[in-house]
């Protein structure tokens, strides 16, 4: 664009403002800014990606565990589906639930997933873990008679090849059925179940013997892909003959006699045997295995926790529990988390105030001494800061214990009787003392850097105008140091709320924080869901307090340095 | 670190060429996981040092994470990246890991060496084999030590002295875990020794044990690391406390502390190796090679030169000799010595495998109140 047209446009006073190269100024500016933004983004990209991958993603994943609850429906899909029709409070569930439970648990026990489910349900109702472990061991016994009975009819029922031919049938293979079973196993174990297994269930067999087809296909998939055996060489596990007897009892006799696939004669003989024998009473079999199965709460717990997502962990974290009748308080013996949250908050506040009380004079002296002396003294503040946390905590142990330095000194001075030494450790006092000491530098450093910027002339001016020392300090100096107190307090409080090593070592049972419970659930009880829920609540509490602080004091007033 | 190791081995391959590796098909590095301290040192001296002498190309790294073996193995399994090759685990942990399919099942007779007396591994280890996944090394016990200068002229002879705060005033150190404590509480509450686990399997029995422990709750310092109790005893913080017998041995014999042993109803436990599931074949081959060597008769006997734990093989017992540095006879310090094992309690692994979750949840809630 030439000068003239620009001039014309400017004279007219309309049209876009143009840049030197003729593009509209707005566009040109936006392009320049965009380039800048992209460059800036590229510069921070390595850090951004690093933080996202190594910090935010794991945190999000961990927090997700606080509501995730797929394990129940993935381990016991049949049971949870049949339990839907059962109303809690009606005593024990009906036979179809027990039957579905048998097949679910059988497969889970073979894949060794039942213990995990037992541990999971044990968080909600103590006793479920041992129940599931015991049942997993004993479940083979339930189908024993059926497995023996069928082999008595004809020893061929023990042959893998015979079963293979029977279940393959003659007609089309039901590929969708096979894939559905693959999915089922993948969800159960978390492993992949791809690949050829040398077997595909015949559509006609699936129609005629649905339970058997399911049990056999599960077995075939597991045998080939997890155990690495060939289907035709191994006798199917007990759940398969159990399913066969159930199918043959339920099937239409005409359909069985009209079936024309391989093994039809044996099938017919087996049907007669199945119909003349007593059916398995699954409920009684499980109660014989462990009488705890007769406790309705067991089934109510499974039903209540059959959803893929659950508020259960969060309720647990605030001493509540989910029951079929809604939310209720936990037993008195299990209510510990509210107390721990309160204790954590209270003690963290106490530690923060102790740090202000002890740190303020130190920072004031440092800020008002000549630089050389101040730097020397600063080393004394920083030295413990650079020392290992464990060393400092252990040192407090030596100081505070009953045969420790402080007690020895007091006894030597005659202030305390040898028989009545003070208990200063393994309680709240120990935690507060040790943590105040450990967190003190985090208070002193921001205070010091703020105080350094307060000109001494202000206090002098106040005094020359007639203020007393106290007034000059309180009305002039202190208000200017408040941003340092704010910064120090936020640092100390947020660090204190999440501490766990120090309370673990010096806190005994009464001086521990909620973080110790989180650590316990992550590394000892393996209740990661509850640990994540507690962690989420703690994180939310910190964010809310931070927000409240911003509203009341204003985050702009926080200064970490001059 | 892993990347560096991979790069280094890749470089080694190109520099020295393939023949150096031909025929072995074994990884040349291994991460062993154990408990740290004197125990890990004994394993290092007895197994690793001679093994490295025989296999100069191999590097072995120690990781002191056995106390967190279960959660860490579970996490590794979930992520699908197993960085450990061989893990030292207590009996109940091993059973739990085995139940969850996090460690592999082994055939002891196939993978271990025969005893020096010609017995097969399963005969030689006998009852020590408590799980298909666990390869036993040593028998240790959790038992009590007391301050000899603080009990006057009536040193405790009975484990129930722990609950007798009138005769033995002062603090006690107990492990922050229900295992062993619950059994002792029931024994001292009058339950017959053969009924302990039957009682403990019931809700009422668990409450009964906790109620007994509640009588001394205010007098207890709960420990979680094996080194805590010897330290507390040495400082005079506690008058008696439970810990592993080997820790007490080193406090008494190596550091000459005024501590006495209370062996009454010591709780036997078995420690051994487990192999994580999902190792690549060449790493598993290396582990099996090491394992066969490290659990043979001589190696297990050698270990007792460094720590007062009994070898798990019967054929090792006659070879137990003197302490490597102090030169004292080790046999009288073993938990299995007849003089020490008049009243012993063999931990019921299957019981704890089944009930640990249940009882620990109760115990921890009880502690926190």
Shortest distance between the Cα of B156 and any Cα of chain A, in A, equals 21
Sign of CA dihedral B284, B286, B292, B294: negative
* pLDDT tens-digit readout, B268-327: 889 999 999 989 999 999 999 999 999 999 999 999 998 899 899 989 988 888 888 888
Q: Where are the beta strands (DSSP E) in A208-342?
A: 320-323, 326-329
Residue of A nearest to B103 (CA): A112
Residue with tokens 């994470």: B65
A526 within domain boundaries: yes
Query: Do A126 and B362 lie within an 8 Å CB cutoff?
Result: yes
| A525 confidence band (pLDDT: 50, 70, 90) | confident
Residue A5: predicted pLDDT: 57
Residue B91: predicted pLDDT: 87
Report CA Rg, chain B. Answer: 22
Cβ-Cβ contacts under 8 Å for B304 (sequence gap 6 or more): B138, B310, B311, B316, B320, B321, B330, B334
Distance between CA atoms of residues A333 and A91, nearest Å = 26
B96 within domain boundaries: yes
Residue B272: predicted pLDDT: 95
- Say if residue A9's pLDDT is above 70: no
Residue B178: predicted pLDDT: 93
Tell me the average pLDDT across A138-154.
Answer: 87
Task: Give residue B225's domain range.
Answer: 142-267+338-368
A519 within domain boundaries: yes
Q: How far is CA B251 from the centre of its chain?
A: 18
| A11 confidence band (pLDDT: 50, 70, 90) | low
Are A130 and B355 spatial neighbours (Cβ–Cβ below 8 Å)? yes
Residue A313: predicted pLDDT: 93
Query: What are the φ/ψ torsions at residue A356 (nearest 5 degrees)?
Result: -65, -50
If asked whether residues B119 and B255 sit together in one domain, one would say no
Residue A242: predicted pLDDT: 92
| A443 confidence band (pLDDT: 50, 70, 90) | very high
Q: Which residues of B touch A116 (CB under 8 A)?
A: 100
Report CA Rg, chain A. Answer: 36
B19 within domain boundaries: no
B15 within domain boundaries: no
Domain closes at, from A306, A335, A364: A335
B4 within domain boundaries: no
B331 within domain boundaries: no
Which range, of A9-23, A540-554, B291-305, averages the lowest pLDDT? Answer: A9-23
Sign of CA dihedral B191, B195, B196, B202: negative
The token duo for B56 is 């100069």
If asked whether residues B85 and B184 sit together in one domain, one would say no
Tell me the average pLDDT across A240-258.
Answer: 89
B132 touches A: beta carbon within 8 Å: no
- Minimal Cβ distance to B71: which of A126, A133, A522: A522
A562 within domain boundaries: no
If asked whether residues A256 and A118 sit together in one domain, one would say no
If asked whether residues B29 and B123 sit together in one domain, one would say yes
Residue A558: predicted pLDDT: 67
Residue with the bigger pLDDT between A282 and B6: it is: A282
If asked whether residues B135 and B254 sit together in one domain, one would say no
- Say if residue A8's pLDDT is above 90: no
Using alpha carbons, select from A439, A452, A533 the residue that is nearest to residue A490: A439
Tell me the average pLDDT across A264-275.
Answer: 88
The token duo for B245 is 């017998």
* pLDDT tens-digit readout, A50-77: 999 988 898 888 889 999 999 999 999 9
Are A298 and A128 spatial neighbours (Cβ–Cβ below 8 Å)? yes
List B140's β-bridge partners, or say none. B269
If asked whether residues A300 and A220 sit together in one domain, one would say no
If asked whether residues B221 and B118 sit together in one domain, one would say no
Query: Do B71 and A123 lie within an 8 Å CB cutoff?
Result: no
Chain A interface, best mutation among B178, B219, B357, by max A CB count within 10 A: B357
If asked whether residues B307 and B356 sit together in one domain, one would say no
If asked whether residues A138 and A148 sit together in one domain, one would say no
Cβ-Cβ contacts under 8 Å for B139 (sequence gap 6 or more): B128, B268, B269, B270, B271, B309, B310, B311, B312, B335, B336
If asked whether residues B165 and B263 sit together in one domain, one would say yes
B124 within domain boundaries: yes
If asked whether residues B124 and B147 sit together in one domain, one would say no
Give the distance between the most distant pair of CA atoms in chain A.
116
A504 within domain boundaries: yes
The token duo for A32 is 């320049």
* pLDDT tens-digit readout, A472-500: 999 999 999 988 998 899 889 999 999 98
Are A352 and A434 spatial neighbours (Cβ–Cβ below 8 Å)? no
| ipTM of the prediction | 0.82
Residue A285: predicted pLDDT: 92
If asked whether residues A188 and A295 sit together in one domain, one would say no
If asked whether residues B310 and B236 sit together in one domain, one would say no
- Say if residue A437's pLDDT is above 90: yes
Give the distance between the most distant pair of CA atoms in chain B.
74
If asked whether residues B310 and B211 sit together in one domain, one would say no
If asked whether residues B240 and B360 sit together in one domain, one would say yes
Are A1 and A19 spatial neighbours (Cβ–Cβ below 8 Å)? no
If asked whether residues A32 and A168 sit together in one domain, one would say no
If asked whether residues A416 and A549 sit together in one domain, one would say yes
Query: What are the φ/ψ torsions at residue B345 (nearest 5 degrees)?
Result: -120, 120
* pLDDT tens-digit readout, B139-176: 999 999 999 999 988 999 999 999 999 999 999 999 99
> Around Cβ B4, how many Cβ atoms within 10 Å?
8
Angle, CA of A207, A286 and A321, to the nearest 5°: 100
A531, with CB counted inside 10 A (0-12, 13-18, 19+), is: buried
Residue B326: predicted pLDDT: 85
Distance between CA atoms of residues A392 and A382, nearest Å = 13
The token duo for A474 is 């309180």
If asked whether residues A330 and A234 sit together in one domain, one would say no
Distance between CA atoms of residues A392 and A395, nearest Å = 5
User: On the CB side of A340, how many CA atoms lie within 13 Å of its CA?
Assistant: 27
If asked whether residues A297 and A396 sit together in one domain, one would say no
Ranges in chain B, pLDDT < 50: 1-23
Are A77 and A184 spatial neighbours (Cβ–Cβ below 8 Å)? yes
The token duo for B98 is 């085995």
Are B243 and B223 spatial neighbours (Cβ–Cβ below 8 Å)? yes
Residue numbers of B between 166 and 205 with CB closer than 8 Å to A: 171, 201, 203
Sign of CA dihedral B67, B69, B70, B71: positive
The percent of residues above 70 in pLDDT, for chain A, comes to 96
Are B27 and B282 spatial neighbours (Cβ–Cβ below 8 Å)? yes
Q: Where are the beta strands (DSSP E) in A147-292?
A: none
If asked whether residues A317 and A389 sit together in one domain, one would say no
Q: Where are the beta strands (DSSP E) in A111-234?
A: none
A509 within domain boundaries: yes
CATH code, B251: 3.40.190.10
CATH code, A368: 1.10.3720.10
Query: Do B362 and A517 lie within an 8 Å CB cutoff?
Result: no
Task: Give residue A393's domain range.
Answer: 337-557
Shortest distance between the Cα of B330 and any Cα of chain A, in A, equals 33
- In the predicted model, what is the mean pLDDT of chain A? 89
List B329's β-bridge partners, or say none. B322
User: In total, how many domains does chain A have?
Assistant: 4
Tell me the average pLDDT across A262-282.
Answer: 88
Domain closes at, from A276, A294, A317: A276
If asked whether residues A330 and A354 sit together in one domain, one would say no
Are A534 and A317 spatial neighbours (Cβ–Cβ below 8 Å)? yes
A372 within domain boundaries: yes
Tell me the average pLDDT across A395-401.
Answer: 92
If asked whether residues A115 and A215 sit together in one domain, one would say no
- Say if residue A415's pLDDT is above 50: yes
Residue B9: predicted pLDDT: 43
User: In total, how many domains does chain B have?
Assistant: 2
If asked whether residues B192 and B53 sit together in one domain, one would say no
If asked whether residues A261 and A198 sit together in one domain, one would say yes
B326 within domain boundaries: no
Q: Which residues of A touch B (CB under 8 A)?
A: 111-113, 115-116, 118-119, 122-123, 126-130, 133-134, 190, 333-334, 336, 339-340, 401-404, 426, 504, 508-509, 512, 517, 520, 522-526
Shortest distance between the Cα of A295 and any Cα of chain B, in A, equals 14
Query: Torsion angle, CA of A440/A442/A446/A447, rounded to 10 degrees?
Result: -10
List B243's β-bridge partners, or say none. B143
């Amino acid at each position: 664009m030439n000068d003239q047209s620009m001039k014309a446009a400017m004279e007219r006073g309309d049209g876009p403002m143009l840049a030197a190269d003729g593009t509209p100024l707005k566009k040109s500016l936006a392009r320049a800014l965009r380039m800048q933004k992209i460059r800036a983004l590229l510069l921070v990209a390595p850090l951004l990606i690093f933080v996202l991958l190594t910090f935010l993603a794991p945190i999000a994943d961990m927090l997700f565990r606080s509501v995730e609850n797929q394990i129940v429906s993935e381990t016991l899909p049949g049971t949870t589906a049949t339990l839907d029709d059962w109303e809690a409070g009606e005593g024990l569930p009906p036979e179809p639930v027990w039957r579905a439970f048998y097949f679910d648990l059988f497969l889970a026990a073979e894949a060794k997933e039942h213990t995990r489910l037992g541990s999971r349900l044990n968080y909600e109702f103590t006793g479920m873990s041992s129940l599931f472990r015991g049942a997993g061991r004993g479940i083979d016994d339930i189908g024993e008679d059926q497995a023996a009975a069928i082999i008595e009819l004809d020893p061929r029922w023990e042959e893998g090849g015979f079963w293979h031919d029977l279940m393959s049938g003659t007609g089309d293979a039901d590929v969708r059925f096979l894939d559905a079973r693959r999915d089922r196993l993948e969800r159960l174990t978390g492993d992949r179940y791809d690949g050829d297994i040398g077997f595909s269930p015949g559509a006609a067999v699936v129609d005629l013997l649905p339970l058997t087809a399911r049990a056999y296909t599960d077995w075939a998939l597991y045998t080939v892909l997890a155990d690495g055996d060939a289907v035709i060489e191994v006798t199917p596990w007990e759940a398969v003959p159990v399913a066969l007897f159930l199918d043959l009892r339920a099937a239409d006799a005409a359909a069985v006699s009209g079936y024309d696939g391989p093994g039809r004669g044996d099938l017919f003989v087996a049907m007669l045997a199945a119909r003349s024998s007593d059916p398995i009473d699954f409920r009684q079999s499980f109660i014989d295995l462990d009488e705890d199965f007769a406790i309705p709460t067991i089934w109510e717990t499974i039903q209540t926790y059959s959803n893929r997502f659950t508020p259960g962990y969060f309720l647990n974290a605030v001493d509540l529990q989910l029951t079929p009748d809604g939310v209720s308080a936990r037993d008195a013996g299990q209510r510990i988390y509210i107390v721990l949250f309160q204790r954590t908050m209270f003690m963290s506040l106490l530690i923060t105030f102790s740090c202000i009380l002890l740190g303020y004079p130190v920072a004031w002296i440092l800020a008002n001494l000549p630089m050389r002396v101040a730097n020397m003294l600063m080393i004394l503040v920083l030295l413990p800061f650079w020392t290992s946390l464990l060393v400092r905590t252990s040192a407090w142990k030596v100081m505070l214990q009953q045969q420790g330095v402080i007690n020895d000194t007091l006894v030597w001075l005659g202030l305390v009787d040898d028989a009545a030494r003070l208990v200063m450790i393994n309680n709240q006092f120990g935690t507060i003392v040790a943590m105040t000491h450990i967190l003190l530098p985090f208070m002193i450093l921001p205070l010091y850097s703020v105080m350094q910027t307060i000109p001494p002339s202000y206090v002098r001016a106040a005094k020359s105008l007639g203020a007393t020392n106290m007034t000059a300090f309180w009305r002039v100096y202190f208000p200017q140091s408040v941003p340092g107190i704010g910064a120090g307090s936020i640092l100390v409080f947020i660090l204190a709320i999440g501490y766990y090593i120090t309370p673990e070592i010096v806190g005994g049972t009464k001086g521990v924080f909620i973080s110790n419970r989180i650590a316990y659930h992550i590394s000892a009880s393996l209740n990661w869901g509850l640990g994540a829920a507690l962690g989420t609540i703690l994180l939310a509490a910190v964010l809310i307090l931070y927000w409240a602080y911003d509203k009341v004091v204003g985050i702009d007033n926080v200064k970490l340095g001059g | 670190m892993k990347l560096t190791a991979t790069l280094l081995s890749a470089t080694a391959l190109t520099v020295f060429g393939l023949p150096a590796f031909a025929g072995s098909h074994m990884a040349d590095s291994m991460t062993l996981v154990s408990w740290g301290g004197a125990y890990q040192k004994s394993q290092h001296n007895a197994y690793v040092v001679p093994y490295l002498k025989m296999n100069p190309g191999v590097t072995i790294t120690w990781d002191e994470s056995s106390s967190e073996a279960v959660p860490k193995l579970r996490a590794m399994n979930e992520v699908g990246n197993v960085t450990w090759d061989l893990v030292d685990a207590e009996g109940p942990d091993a059973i739990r890991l085995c139940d969850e399919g996090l460690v592999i099942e082994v055939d002891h007779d196939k993978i271990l060496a025969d005893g020096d007396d010609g017995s097969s591994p399963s005969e030689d280890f006998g009852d020590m084999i408590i799980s298909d996944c666990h390869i036993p090394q040593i028998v240790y016990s959790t038992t009590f030590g007391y301050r000899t200068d603080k009990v006057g002229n009536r040193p405790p002879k009975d484990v129930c002295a722990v609950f007798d705060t009138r005769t033995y005033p002062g603090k006690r150190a107990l492990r922050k875990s229900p295992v062993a404590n619950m059994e002792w509480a029931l024994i001292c509450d009058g339950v017959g020794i053969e009924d302990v686990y039957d009682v403990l399997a019931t809700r009422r029995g668990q409450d009964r044990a906790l109620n007994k422990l509640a009588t001394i709750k205010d007098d207890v310092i709960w420990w979680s690391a094996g080194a805590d109790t010897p330290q507390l005893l040495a400082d005079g913080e506690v008058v008696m406390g439970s810990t592993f017998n080997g820790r007490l041995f080193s406090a008494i014999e190596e550091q000459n502390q005024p501590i006495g042993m209370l062996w009454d109803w010591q709780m036997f436990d078995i420690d051994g190796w487990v192999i994580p599931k999902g190792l690549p074949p060449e790493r598993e081959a290396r582990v099996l090679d090491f394992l066969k060597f490290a659990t043979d008769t001589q190696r297990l006997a050698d270990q007792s030169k460094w720590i007062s734990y009994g070898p798990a093989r019967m054929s090792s017992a006659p070879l137990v000799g003197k302490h490597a540095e102090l030169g004292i006879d080790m046999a009288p310090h073993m938990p299995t010595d007849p003089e020490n094992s008049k009243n012993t309690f063999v931990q019921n692994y299957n019981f704890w495998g089944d009930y640990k979750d249940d009882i620990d949840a109760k115990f921890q809630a009880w502690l926190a109140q």
